[in-house]
Structure 1
Amino acid sequence: MTENVVVLGAGYAGAGAINKLQSELGGSAQLTWIADVDYHLVLHESHRVIRDPSVRSDITFPIDDIADPSTRFIRDEVTGLDVDEQVVELADGDDVEYDYVMVGLGTQTAYYGIPGLDDHSLTLKSLDDALEIHDAISDASQEATRGDPAQVVIGGAGLSGIQTAGEIAEFRDNHRAPIDIHLVEALEEIFPGNDPEVQQALRDLLEDAGVQIHTDDPITEANEDVIEFDEGEPLEHDVLVWTGGITGRDAMDDVDLENEHNRVNTEANFQTSDERVFAIGDSAIIDQGDQPAPPTAQAAWQAAEVVGENISRAIENRPLKTWEFKDKGTVISVGDKAVAHDVMVLPVDTFGGIPAKNLKKMIAARWIADITSWNEARKSWSSL
């Protein structure tokens, strides 16, 4: 009997899993891919669209460029997963039956109960989000003057917040726009929890770009044109972007699986509390001993290489492989510049300049080549 294998999501986890499953299954199972968009977005480059919307054509790839002709694709929103009936529930279409399902739905923005933040902020979780931020800062800058510049505030100084601030600074410079940029972080330093050397390198680039950094004071409330802090003076804003946290998708809210905040708990082999349900990427909290795997693109890419093989092994009733995350370092862009830290193959802990910039380009190009082709990666190079 042919097994039905279903993959949920078109992000790094979903696209990577589809790519691997197509080679592993070789047509021996019916493979179905379900996502709410008909393209894969290179999400860690989506901040480039804030500066220049034309970049989107170089960081989005149609499903047809990734899926084999034999892979069935359904464009619909996943609203639930019934593990007893073994069906995926959809917003518009009929339920989809599965024998095995791989959850790669990603996450949504967490607001931590801060009053008004959901209503008055923009986020960066999709292509549409990046385009909305571009339009918002463009509109705000057109209404501003040198004497009364537009105030753009980015809440959360993790990787996404830092890269967003850098792109808005590039937009400001390219358009000679009257914009003040503020990066706000509740903890003591930007890029929290990381090595002080890379924190300082990023701070230097941001300050050189004219970004005003506010740390060690959490936001307590957001209103239409001002945010309040625990201790400091209120900060007015024309545009507020929130990048401060993640939580699981609502679709996983009532799923009968072990989970934390709608992110599914898995073993190191990606199997959940139901042996027919696997999960990777930001949707999953993957057991790695003392700490789970980080919710990063790098972890999703690595996991996707193994989850496809493990689903194939499960179908064949063979032992599953255990996965161990290997941190290969971090590369973060600040506009046209970048900082690299703790890259495994290099003896230098932290560096910038052209080597860091090209390394970031190469990481994205390698991913694009893996799921499409090196020719597509080459065409995207200038936008990365």
Structure 2
Amino acid sequence: MADSLVVIGTGYAGTKAVQQLEQNTSGVNITWIGENQYHLVLHESHRIIRDPTIRQKITIPVKNIKSTDTNFIEGEVTNIDTEARSVELSNGNTIPYDYVLVAIGSQTAHYGIPGLNDYSVTLKSLEDALTIHKRIFTETNLESSEKPTQVLIGGAGLSGIQVAGEVAKLRDEAGISIEITLLEALDEILPGHSSDLQKSVRKQLIKADIDIRTGNPLSKAGDEYIHLKNDKKLSYDILIWTGGITGHDIMESIDVEKEHNRIKTDTTFKTSDDRIFTVGDAALVENGENPVPPTAQAAWQAADVAANNIERSLQNKPLRHWTYEDKGTLISIGDKAIAHNVSNIPFSTFGSYPAQFLKKFVAARWIAGLTSWYHASSAWSVL
């Protein structure tokens, strides 16, 4: 009887792993499970806030990615029964497995801040981006130019900065009255990144007329105001929260070792259960003192090794270890872009057209790898 492999998730890691498994396994039944019948190029999803029509360029139908032999199931996973070796779906169906790869991604962390989950919008899906676009125009239409719409963005990491830049560009192109405030609990934007990159990004944010406030964590959210740790209140019309990630709620029920609802693993991606592997944001991968960062580039790099190690497990071969390689940072602020420490480029931090080109090229290369360069070229103008 053929072995059964189940891959959960249509994000970067799951999508690439499926293609790797298709190419390098034979006589194996692959089942791919996802909540949507498309892959979203998530690191470009902020573009949809400005122009919803580009969703057609950065969503790729599953049928264009997988082979005809792979069985795709659209559904929500509710549990993995490690004793029965089955994946349970919300509709009551169960999918048996010999090995399962959990690549379900993450959800936005609200850190137990009162009211934040109830009153904020996140950016983890196509629907989130469309909601933000709609809310901007709904709220703006209710206000006069004398009372600008207040958009607060919590979290000044990559996602929060790109959202702020896109809202600013939408404001300028549409000629609508919006005041944008970017909040960061720590003392500087892009925490953990170099001061050169922080300074360059801050300069572009200021040019885009975005108010930056750092060093004062959000402590409570209401339907019209947020409260900061120093007891100051800020009013808002739209609150967008991008302040970190945690594992999906379904992780709680999976009987493997976890931390902060993310599955712990070493650099082979095997978990405390020999039949379960995990990769991407769902995984908390050991990497010296700090775990591997939950980024798109890390997921891309890791997926091949995770898939290969499932193949090796089927063949009773030793598992490979993966070494994370930071290939630099690319960040967009509206139509501007900044690059930092990009591999094989002799400049540390730079912007202008070269950075814009690199940002586009990275996204286009990913799309081309899943489908074709023809598809990637059609998306070039919106990336």
TM-score norm. by structure 2 comes to 0.99
TM-score norm. by structure 1 comes to 0.98
Question: Is 1:10 matched up with 2:22?
Answer: no
User: Equivalences for 1:4-83 in 2 at 5 Å?
Assistant: 4-25=4-25, 27-83=26-82
Question: Is 1:267 matched up with 2:266?
Answer: yes
Q: Deviations over 1:155-194 (max 9, x none)?
A: 0000000000000001100100000000001100111111
Which residue number corresponds to residue 95 of structure 2? 96
Which residue number corresponds to residue 316 of structure 1? 315
Pairs aligned (count)? 383
Runs of at least 4 residues of structure 1 off by over 4 A? Answer: none
Paired residues of 1:252 and 1:263 also in contact (CA < 8 A): yes
Which stretch of the first structure deviates more once superposed, 369-378 or 126-135?
369-378
1:286 shift after superposition: 1.1
SS in 2 for 1:253: helix
Q: Percent identity?
A: 50
1:93 shift after superposition: 4.3
Which residue number corresponds to residue 347 of structure 1? 346
Which stretch of the first structure deviates more once superposed, 136-145 or 115-124?
136-145
SS in 2 for 1:188: coil
Q: How many angstroms apart in 1 are the aligned matches of 2:263 and 2:220?
A: 30
Which residue number corresponds to residue 228 of structure 1? 227
1:267 shift after superposition: 1.5
1:291 shift after superposition: 2.1
User: Equivalences for 1:1-384 in 2 at 5 Å?
Assistant: 1-25=1-25, 27-231=26-230, 233-384=232-383
Q: How many angstroms apart in 2 are the aligned matches of 1:232 and 1:372?
A: 51
Letter in 2 for 1:72: N
CA RMSD of aligned residues (A): 0.9
Q: How many angstroms apart in 1 are the aligned matches of 2:83 and 2:264?
A: 18
Paired residues of 1:270 and 1:280 also in contact (CA < 8 A): yes
Q: How many angstroms apart in 1 are the aligned matches of 2:373 and 2:313?
A: 32
1:232 shift after superposition: 5.7
Q: How many angstroms apart in 2 are the aligned matches of 1:185 and 1:383?
A: 28
1:306 shift after superposition: 1.3
Paired residues of 1:76 and 1:93 also in contact (CA < 8 A): no
Gaps of 5+ in 2: none
Letter in 2 for 1:12: Y
Letter in 1 for 2:115: G
Q: How many angstroms apart in 1 are the aligned matches of 2:316 and 2:300?
A: 25
1:274 shift after superposition: 0.9
SS in 1 for 2:226: strand
1:288 shift after superposition: 2.1
Q: How many angstroms apart in 1 are the aligned matches of 2:309 and 2:373?
A: 27
Gaps of 5+ in 1: none
Q: How many angstroms apart in 2 are the aligned matches of 1:17 and 1:292?
A: 21
Paired residues of 1:222 and 1:228 also in contact (CA < 8 A): yes
